[in-house]
């Protein structure tokens, strides 16, 4: 039984926070699917991950390639990830279902705290998932470091 971790981004942008979380997930031995809602945005994230800090190389692929099933990290817009992930990271409001939270080791939902629509979408996902009985944690970086602000 997994848990949903909500990450409220207010200081660091997605392209800075995502590699940190991906590194931690890979250190746990998990394959990861990064789920978005827009193919162009996922291609942009793909480029950001390839050109990130030298010490932070993250082997990954963009869904649609010949080796999707072999990717330790797969960027996709689909709920079905070919790499059999233990962890799904939702970006840009990609929907997560309660059954996924229960089936996976971890689900991470990253949302832009400077975008009211993204905040509202995260609130709706929190309510929907916790109402379905999923374990959830809310993390905020507003103080300058990540702090757990709520747990249900």
**What is the CATH code for 3-151?**
3.40.50.10110
What is the Cα gyration radius of the chain? 14
Return d(Cα 70, Cα 83) in angstroms, integer. 6
Global pTM? 0.94
The pLDDT, as a whole number, for residue 122 is 97
**DSSP secondary structure of 10-66:** SSS-HHHHHHHHHHHHHHTT--EEEE-S-HHHHHHHHHHHHTS-GGG----EETTST
Judged against a pLDDT cut of 90, whether residue 1 lies above it is answered with: no
Per-residue pLDDT at 55? 59
Where are the chain's structural domains? 3-151
| Per-residue confidence (pLDDT) for residue 51, from 0 to 100 | 76
User: pLDDT tens digits, residue range 95-142?
Assistant: 999 999 999 999 999 999 999 999 999 999 999 999 999 999 999 998
State the first-to-last Cα distance of the chain, in angstroms, to the nearest integer. Answer: 14
Pull the structure tokens for residue 146.
Answer: 């990540």
């Amino acid at each position: 039984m997994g848990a949903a971790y909500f990450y409220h981004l207010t200081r660091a942008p997605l392209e800075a926070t995502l590699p940190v979380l991906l590194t931690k997930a890979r250190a746990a031995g998990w394959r990861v699917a990064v789920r978005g809602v827009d193919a162009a945005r996922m291609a942009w994230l793909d480029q950001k991950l390839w050109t990130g800090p030298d010490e932070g190389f993250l082997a990954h692929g963009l869904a649609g390639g010949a080796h999707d099933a072999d990717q330790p990290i797969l960027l996709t817009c689909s709920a079905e990830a070919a790499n059999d992930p233990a962890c799904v990271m939702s970006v840009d409001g990609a929907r997560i279902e309660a059954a996924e939270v229960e089936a996976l080791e971890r689900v991470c939902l990253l949302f832009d705290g400077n975008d009211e629509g993204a905040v509202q979408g995260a609130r709706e996902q929190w309510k929907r998932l916790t109402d379905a009985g999923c374990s959830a944690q809310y993390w905020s970086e507003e103080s300058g470091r990540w702090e757990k602000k709520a747990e249900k």
